[in-house]
Structure 1
Amino acid sequence: MTSIHGGSIRKVVVACDAGMGSSVMLASQLRRELRGAPVIVEHHSIATIPDDADVVLCQLGLAGRARAGAPGSVVVGFRMFLGDPAVARVVAAVKQGGVVFGTPGS
């Protein structure tokens, strides 16, 4: 899947590989930002992304692995754990409507 409307997003997964804790912080921040929206935010390793994830947020370098492991999800890669525009676009789409586009690439 390459895009999804913000109103259709029910589960966002923040996926990581290194286990450094930054992705857990991002998931916690997203929970706060999306409080009140009908969206579940979870944190998983890149190898255990659940099948029901609508959007997967991961570091840009992990996007290919995330797409392979979650072919039915929109995968959005980001560069920075905090303050990245790609993450802000997902939050805005959920809150205000709009389309979330997946990160292109293999």
Structure 2
Amino acid sequence: MAYTATSWVNGSEPAINAANLNKLEAGVVAAHEAAAAPVTWGDVSGKPSTFPPVVGTSASSAKAGNWKPAVADVTGLEAKISELEARIAALDPDGE
């Protein structure tokens, strides 16, 4: 059942009476039951279209958990290494 909130204002209707307190109680019970209910796969939103999700099926889309990329596999890494080597060489031209 959908719960409809009641706007309470001091000294104004709606009154605090059995009917309104029972409505509140029913809302709490319904929320508690909904929170405790198991969620089915069909009720899950934003899930992958396949299950289990496909991580990759080719050399370009899947890697083993222990895969270590080569320097050439990381975009811009060779240039960054060259830049750092040049900066280090400038600080210590003798290489010691």
TM-score range, shorter chain: under 0.3
Q: More relative contact order in 1 or in 2 (CA 8 Å, sep 6+)? A: 1
Q: TM-score, normalised by structure 1?
A: 0.19
Structure number having the greater strand percentage: 1
